[in-house]
A and B are shown apart, each in its own frame.
Chain A
Amino acid sequence: MNVLIQLGWFFKQRKKQYTIGVAALVLVSILQLLPPKILGYIVDGITKGTLTGNQLTKWLVILAVAGIAMYGFRNLWRVMIFGSSIVLARTIRKQLFDHFLKMSPAFYQKRRVGNLMAHATNDVSAVQQTAGMGVLTLFDSISTGGFVILTMALTINWKLTLIALIPIPIMIVLTSFYGKLLRRHFRTAQESFSSMNDKTQESISGVKVIKTFGQQKEDIEDFRQLSDEVVEKNMRVARVDALFDPTIGGIFAISSIISFIFGARFIIAGDMSVGDMVAFSTYLGLLTWPMLAFGFLFNIVERGNASYTRIRELLSVDPEVVDVEGAIDERPKGDLAVDIDTFTFPGDPKPALSDVHFTLSQGETLGIVGKTGSGKTAILKLLLREFDDYDGVISYGGHSIHQYKQQRLRESIGYVPQDHFLFSTTLAENIAFTNPMAPSEEIHHAARLAHIHDDIAGFSEGYRTIVGERGVSLSGGQKQRISIARALLMQPELLILDDSLSAVDAKTEEAILRSLKETRSGETTIITSHRLSAIQHAHQIIVMDEGTISESGTHSELMAQNGSYKEMYDLQQLEASVEQGGEA
């Protein structure tokens, strides 16, 4: 029930709808008392021979009116209550989405996308159920159940009512218990389904290996076993699921039997008429749903409770990187000075960076090289303010980057990440990501600079080509160049290429670097790369090793040092020439 209190803000917001909905619900439960009653009167009228045509017509008209009114009210409460519940779903989804947009990378490092998706889908729908089905079952079981029992007790026979109700609590307890059991089995069934899913995924991804080793038969056998398990686990669900109907039917049969046995006694004693008995037994039938609903209620609310708790927990996480008070509200530009003493990723035992100090004047290009895990990307992450918690200062245009508004800082940085990410929309929109209204000349210009224009022009749909899951598949190099075009379109003061030329061939890389040099002479560029050809013309090169700078200087200075840079360079020259040789 906790969740209903926690959702109080929403019920208040939708007070009108819920009031109308509940009122309609109550009216329906009152109106549906009429038919059995009238049935009873007519039966009595017939047995006693007192029924007249006028009387009968009157009853029938009342019945018809009640039927139509109930239709209206049933309609009304559905729209009001179920309608509100989808408003709630929409609201929570929006809250979650807005919240996700505010969260720092550290938040995403700790959580998997699949997991967050589960919150935005399953948990939201469980809460929606609570605000719809939950509210319905709560009020319906109380009002219908209450009114029916009251009518039976007050207008027919209270003793018979009590007697007839004896088995009902057993039913509530049993169905509620089944519900719990059902959910537990359902979870294991779900797990077996997802392991079958994983298996299929793996077999398809590894199809070449399976074919190579001629293991199709064995693999199918493996799949058969997993599917056996799915059947077995689902049968467990079925064994509980199949209990509901017989239990309810059985209990109501017991109620019927004892009410007829005792009803007969009351009729003999003259306390009741036959019509009363018929009405009574019809009322008993009306109790099925509210009693059942009562059992459902607990399960719905329990699920809603767990889900809403998870959603609230998620919403209560504060963004880790926030603007300081009185933050500078202008786009930073100028020299960059990096003075990092130590930085450790949250949760890591070892620092990712230690003693990284360098300055970069406006208009210069910096190259950062080093092995995977040497700390190249970590420096960039700090520059982008993905993490704020480190010893040292990074200043940009004379101020610490912490003093700028995040939005302003980001405005001046064009970042091309390692793992290029394209949205499933047109190429034009992917490039014009920062400015959807950008004129097409600007988009084409950026694409030309990134040397992707010709590729795009080659697609039948040109810039309107849709990429991503539902669209064309691009090569890694094409994706990288689109990411570069995206960053270039915003004409950033600081351009960061995080190993984003790795899938581009040597010639194209050279061409891109050349056009960058020509168009960005006054602006700053940082390039990290495995391949030294990408950075050898930089004004300044730093070599990262285990989180710290091991060598630095220009290309010729580093070559002269005869250290690890030269070693890498020589090795790569060799490798590159093979590729070129093939094309010669």
Chain B
Amino acid sequence: MAEVKQTKLSARGQWEVFVRLLKYLKPHTVSISIALLLLALTITGSIVSPLLIQSFIDNHLVTLDFGRAGIIRLLVAYVAIQVTVVVISYFQSLRFQKIALKIIQQIRIDAFTKVQGLGMRYFDKTPAGAIVSRVTNDTEAIKEMFVSVVVTFLQAIFGIIGVYIALFSLDARLALYSMVLLPIFLILISVYRHYSADFYQDIRERLSQLNGKISESLSGMGMIQAFRQEKRLADEFESINDGHYRAGVRNIKFDSILLGPFIDLLYAAAVVCTLAYFGFTSLSTAVDVGVIYAFTTLLSRLFQPVQQVMNRMSIFQQALVSASRVFTLIDEPDMEPVQQAERDAKITEGTIIFDGVTFSYDGKTDVLKDISFTANAGETVALVGHTGSGKSSIINLLMRFYEYEHGSISIDGRSLKSYPMEELRDKVGLVLQDPFMFYGDVESNIRLHNESMTSEEVRAASEFVQANKFIEQLEGDYAHKVMERGATLSSGQRQLIAFARTMAVDPKILVLDEATANIDTETEIAIQASLQKMRKGRTTIAIAHRLSTIQDAELILVLHKGEIAERGTHQQLLSMKGLYYKMYQLQNGQTA
């Protein structure tokens, strides 16, 4: 990933991200209230049950008073509470899960929607893998936070409050003493959070290094073996493997000092204190033994949530880092160009005028300088020139992939910016040099998401570009499965499908980026024939590599370093005996 990987956040940054995440809870207020109510009920139930047992011990067991009515009342209450707790806790946990999943879905859709609206500039500078990671993996990490962390935290808070209420009802003085546990918990959690953040960070980085090494070595195995570097790679791997191991050991040691065993130790201390308190009190005044039972049981319920919160600390921190990355994407300012759309703007003729257009990708070097030309309705303008001459940039501007600031581009007398985006997309068809295929079948690749298009229209478009011949020979013809990126189709076949895709929407203006890939001669002829047909009756802006294919163009622009070096028809350019003439001579095998 080219971007700087953000791995740590300041405390303030963490807090801001956390608050922003919590805002996603808003649409679910009702659902959350219900879930919280259920949570409160289950916790009340689980705290009341030891109190019932306490009353059973003190009022019946110790006094050996087994009056039916009292016992049955207690029993019924206990069973009723248990059944309710079991049922409610199931639905409560389910509801929290559902809320969490829905929130993550929303964040994902927000991120994906955002990505769809970003300008090409963003895609130029960000590797696809990184963007995918934002939308899927990072949001998955946030999900962990909502599913396990938030619920655990809530349970802990509710649980601790509930336990203290019960403790106070049993013995206010001891309950007050045991309040001392709260600051201890807070200190423990914050100390743990402080150190574990670094440790987990370290081990995560080492793990990704380790996996990166394996993955790279597997991909480059041919090279490693051909150059006999097995030993060296094995050594390098071993040192990374060792580093990861050492980090792992350190983590285990750290966790066993502060995590599980320590909580157990604290609990043991709390029990000792409780028993000392009741024991020594009993020497002077009477003590209800049921209260001792209830107290020790309730205390254990105080420690469980703290341990769970600590267990989830690292997930929580990881989630915040991931969330901040997702939010950075959602806040990305590099949007696609905005239209100042006038609703009635329609493309009817297809006359394109570039007037004094100057453009730069990075704001420093101009790749287009003062470009002016007119493409009359139904005519073809061909762009000629070597790589980097600015041909593709003209297309990029016309397609509104990038914003231009100097000069104007108009279609049918209106600024390009005044058309609604839908109108532009409907009337301006682009065929890319490298046709992109989607996973699906041939038909879905021609139709794309356009549900209103009939199968007949798909077939008609294929016939029009003469793609039908090869499609019908495929297994299952139009239902033929297209793998990722069309791996099973030849580049010529992909190109023909892309043609059909464009023809199916029947655009008024055609923009062609001529394919130069290795295509066998037969397909090449088919493609040229299709292109001729497609251009008929449409305004066409075409990038041409072979001059022979654009001889009939009404206007040919020869671009050189972002400027129009020569312009005219084929014949005019030839008679100028300039750059075009030279190129043409060379192409025909004659030396100039």
One digit per residue, 1 when the CB lies within 8 angstroms of any chain A CB and 0 when it does not, for chain B 468-501 equals: 0000000000000000110000000000000001
Does A238 belong to the interface (CB within 8 Å)?
Answer: yes
Chain A residues within 8 Å of B386, by CB? 579, 582-583
Identify the interface centre among B224, B275, B279, B582: most chain A CB within 10 Å of its CB: B279
**Contact A35 to B57, CB < 8 A, known contacts A60-B276, A78-B255, A473-B2:** no
Chain A residues within 8 Å of B87, by CB? 246
Chain B residues within 8 Å of A577, by CB? 583, 586-587, 589
- Which of A65-73, A361-369, A447-455 interfaces with chain B? A65-73
What is the predominant secondary structure among interface residues of chain B facing chain A?
Answer: helix
Does B15 belong to the interface (CB within 8 Å)?
Answer: no
Q: Contact check: which of B223, B292, B589 meets A570 at CB < 8 Å?
A: B589
Q: Contact check: which of B105, B108, B226, B232 meets A384 at CB < 8 Å?
A: B226
Does A43 belong to the interface (CB within 8 Å)?
Answer: yes
One digit per residue, 1 when the CB lies within 8 angstroms of any chain B CB and 0 when it does not, for chain A 231-267 equals: 1001100110111011101100110110011001001
**Within the assembled complex, what's the spacing in Å between the Cα atoms of A339 and B255?**
65
One digit per residue, 1 when the CB lies within 8 angstroms of any chain B CB and 0 when it does not, for chain A 19-60 equals: 000000000000000010011001101110001110010011
Q: Is the CB of A211 within 8 A of B218?
A: no
Does A410 belong to the interface (CB within 8 Å)?
Answer: yes
Does A463 belong to the interface (CB within 8 Å)?
Answer: no
Distance from A247 Cβ to chain B, minimum over Cβ atoms (Å)? 8
**Contact A101 to B232, CB < 8 A, known contacts A51-B279, A205-B128:** no
Q: Is the CB of A74 within 8 A of B264?
A: yes
Distance from A376 Cβ to chain B, minimum over Cβ atoms (Å)? 14
Q: Is the CB of B66 within 8 A of A268?
A: yes
**Contact A70 to B264, CB < 8 A, known contacts A97-B214, A407-B228:** yes
In this complex, what residue of A is CB-closest to B273? A60
One digit per residue, 1 when the CB lies within 8 angstroms of any chain A CB and 0 when it does not, for chain B 20-59 equals: 0000000000000000000000000010010001001100
Distance from A241 Cβ to chain B, minimum over Cβ atoms (Å)? 8
Q: Is the CB of B546 within 8 A of A578?
A: yes
**Within the assembled complex, what's the spacing in Å between the Cα atoms of A228 and B292?**
51
Interface residue ranges of B568-584 to A (CB < 8 Å): 579, 582-584
Does B172 belong to the interface (CB within 8 Å)?
Answer: no
Distance from B352 Cβ to chain A, minimum over Cβ atoms (Å)? 16
Chain A residues within 8 Å of B1, by CB? 469-470
Chain A residues within 8 Å of B545, by CB? 578
Q: Is the CB of A98 within 8 A of B66?
A: no
Q: Is the CB of A264 within 8 A of B587?
A: no
Q: Is the CB of A63 within 8 A of B271?
A: yes
Q: Is the CB of A117 within 8 A of B484?
A: no
Distance from B55 Cβ to chain A, minimum over Cβ atoms (Å)? 12
Chain A residues within 8 Å of B256, by CB? 74-75, 78-79, 82
Distance from B50 Cβ to chain A, minimum over Cβ atoms (Å)? 9
Q: Contact check: which of B137, B214, B265, B430 meets A71 at CB < 8 Å?
A: B265
Chain A residues within 8 Å of B293, by CB? 39, 43, 278, 281-282
Q: Is the CB of B292 within 8 A of A39?
A: yes
**Contact A421 to B449, CB < 8 A, known contacts A239-B94, A407-B228:** no
Distance from A275 Cβ to chain B, minimum over Cβ atoms (Å)? 8
Q: Is the CB of B252 within 8 A of A86?
A: yes
In this complex, what residue of A is CB-closest to B112? A223
Q: Is the CB of A530 within 8 A of B296?
A: no
One digit per residue, 1 when the CB lies within 8 angstroms of any chain B CB and 0 when it does not, for chain A 276-289 equals: 01100110010000
- Which of B77-85, B310-318, B370-378, B535-543 interfaces with chain A? B77-85
- Which of B185-193, B320-328, B361-369, B418-426 interfaces with chain A? B418-426
Q: Chain B: how many interface residues by the 8 Å CB criterion? A: 145
Q: Contact check: which of B249, B264, B296, B584 meets A86 at CB < 8 Å?
A: B249
Q: Contact check: which of B230, B265, B384 meets A102 at CB < 8 Å?
A: B230
Q: Is the CB of A267 within 8 A of B109?
A: no
Q: Is the CB of A573 within 8 A of B132?
A: no
In this complex, what residue of B is CB-closest to A486? B227
**Within the assembled complex, what's the spacing in Å between the Cα atoms of A393 and B586?**
46
One digit per residue, 1 when the CB lies within 8 angstroms of any chain B CB and 0 when it does not, for chain A 479-496 equals: 000000010001000000
Q: Is the CB of B587 within 8 A of A101?
A: no
Does A178 belong to the interface (CB within 8 Å)?
Answer: no
Q: Is the CB of A257 within 8 A of B79?
A: yes
One digit per residue, 1 when the CB lies within 8 angstroms of any chain B CB and 0 when it does not, for chain A 173-199 equals: 000000000000000000001001110
Chain B residues within 8 Å of A205, by CB? 128, 436, 485
Does A434 belong to the interface (CB within 8 Å)?
Answer: yes
**Contact A113 to B215, CB < 8 A, known contacts A56-B276, A207-B123:** yes
In this complex, what residue of B is CB-closest to A70? B264
**Contact A117 to B292, CB < 8 A, known contacts A67-B265, A74-B261, A234-B101:** no
**Contact A79 to B252, CB < 8 A, known contacts A90-B245, A196-B136:** yes
**Contact A238 to B56, CB < 8 A, known contacts A83-B249, A436-B232:** no
**Within the assembled complex, what's the spacing in Å between the Cα atoms of A242 and B97?**
9
One digit per residue, 1 when the CB lies within 8 angstroms of any chain B CB and 0 when it does not, for chain A 552-584 equals: 000000000000000000100110011111111
Q: Is the CB of A242 within 8 A of B582?
A: no
**Within the assembled complex, what's the spacing in Å between the Cα atoms of A117 and B257?**
34
Q: Is the CB of A220 within 8 A of B109?
A: yes
Distance from A257 Cβ to chain B, minimum over Cβ atoms (Å)? 6
- Which of B281-289, B407-415, B456-464 interfaces with chain A? B281-289
Q: Is the CB of B66 within 8 A of A264?
A: yes
Q: Is the CB of B234 within 8 A of A98?
A: yes
- Which of B114-122, B157-165, B194-202, B342-350 interfaces with chain A? B114-122
**Contact A231 to B102, CB < 8 A, known contacts A249-B85, A434-B227:** yes
Does B335 belong to the interface (CB within 8 Å)?
Answer: no
Q: Contact check: which of B46, B272, B432, B579 meets A208 at CB < 8 Å?
A: B432
Q: Contact check: which of A59, A116, A219, A230 meets B449 at CB < 8 Å?
A: A219
Chain A residues within 8 Å of B221, by CB? 100-101, 103, 105, 108
Does B127 belong to the interface (CB within 8 Å)?
Answer: yes
**Within the assembled complex, what's the spacing in Å between the Cα atoms of A261 and B518?**
85
Does A426 belong to the interface (CB within 8 Å)?
Answer: no
Chain A residues within 8 Å of B82, by CB? 249-250, 253-254, 257
Chain B residues within 8 Å of A584, by CB? 579, 582-583
**Within the assembled complex, what's the spacing in Å between the Cα atoms of A67 and B49?**
27
Chain A residues within 8 Å of B113, by CB? 220
Does B298 belong to the interface (CB within 8 Å)?
Answer: no
Chain A residues within 8 Å of B501, by CB? 213
Identify the interface centre among B385, B425, B589: most chain A CB within 10 Å of its CB: B425
Does B67 belong to the interface (CB within 8 Å)?
Answer: no
Distance from B16 Cβ to chain A, minimum over Cβ atoms (Å)? 26
Q: Is the CB of B448 within 8 A of A213?
A: yes
Q: Is the CB of B232 within 8 A of A63?
A: no
Chain B residues within 8 Å of A94, by CB? 237-238, 241
**Within the assembled complex, what's the spacing in Å between the Cα atoms of A208 and B395?**
12
Q: Contact check: which of B86, B448, B587 meets A574 at CB < 8 Å?
A: B587
What are 23 residue pairs bridging A and B, where the CB atoms are less than 8 Å apart in the complex? A63-B271, A64-B268, A66-B268, A74-B260, A78-B252, A89-B245, A93-B241, A113-B219, A196-B108, A200-B131, A200-B136, A202-B484, A204-B123, A207-B120, A208-B436, A212-B429, A213-B449, A215-B450, A230-B101, A243-B90, A407-B228, A410-B225, A582-B579
Given pairs A68-B268, A260-B53, A285-B297, 13 additional interface contacts (CB within 8 A): A35-B271, A46-B287, A60-B275, A68-B265, A90-B244, A113-B215, A113-B218, A197-B137, A207-B120, A208-B120, A212-B430, A242-B93, A434-B227
On A, residues with C-beta under 8 Å from B are 35, 38-39, 42-43, 45-47, 51-53, 56, 59-60, 63-64, 66-68, 70-71, 74-75, 78-79, 82-83, 86-87, 89-90, 93-94, 97-98, 100-103, 105, 108, 113, 116-117, 120-121, 193, 196-198, 200-216, 218-224, 227-228, 230-231, 234-235, 238-239, 241-243, 245-247, 249-250, 253-254, 256-257, 260-261, 264, 267-268, 274-275, 277-278, 281-282, 285, 372, 384, 407, 410-411, 413, 415, 417, 421, 423-424, 433-434, 436, 468-471, 473, 486, 490, 530, 570, 573-574, 577-584
